[in-house]
A = this chain, B = another copy of it.
Amino acid sequence: MAEVGYAHFSAREVAKRIGYSIGTIYNVFGSLDLLVVAVNSRTVGLWAATARARLNEAGANRIAALVEGYFDFAERNQNLWMAIYDHHMPEGETFSSDYVEQLGELIGIVETEIVGLLPQLGSGEAGTLTRSLLATVHGHCVFALNGTFALLGVHDPRHVALARVREALAAASGNVPP
């Protein structure tokens, strides 16, 4: 996946590279979809670990460290990261519990920082704000990677994304009765 990307990811090629036959892949994972889900769950796990590492060596500005970490991870693991969003569950299927777990950990890391910064927030509000900030950074990251920003003359997506996050945090800290 890291080498060829989602579009050219193939169960047969995986089998070849790990020295098993195509049949074994299907016995273990059940379908290409589920194999991709397994890969993506692992990627989210790596992502969470990277975020944690970034926070450990972060200075005073931990939010900036998270935003930078987001962009860095996506850029350095483009194919893996994009595969998370290129893949869609077949209609009616639900997220695998493994995936949900890894994603929960990643979001928990961010939420802890938000709560640390804005302890006045109720837990529901903090949760919604966390997911909204992740969505904000996600959007900027997508446009940075797929060339939409470059095409339109936005040269520093990270800086812009961080600005949006700061504004949202400032607004949240001001809007809450003390």
Contacts and interface: CB of A to CB of B under 8 A. Distances in A.
A88 B142 contact: no
Interface string A115-148: 0000000001001100110111111101100111
Contact of A138 (B139, B160, B163, B171): B139
Contact of A135 (B7, B124, B128, B143): B143
Per assembly, the copies of the chain total 2
Nearest to A172: B167
Nearest to A86: B86
Interface string A75-103: 00000001001101100000100001001
A147 B95 contact: yes
A154 interface: yes
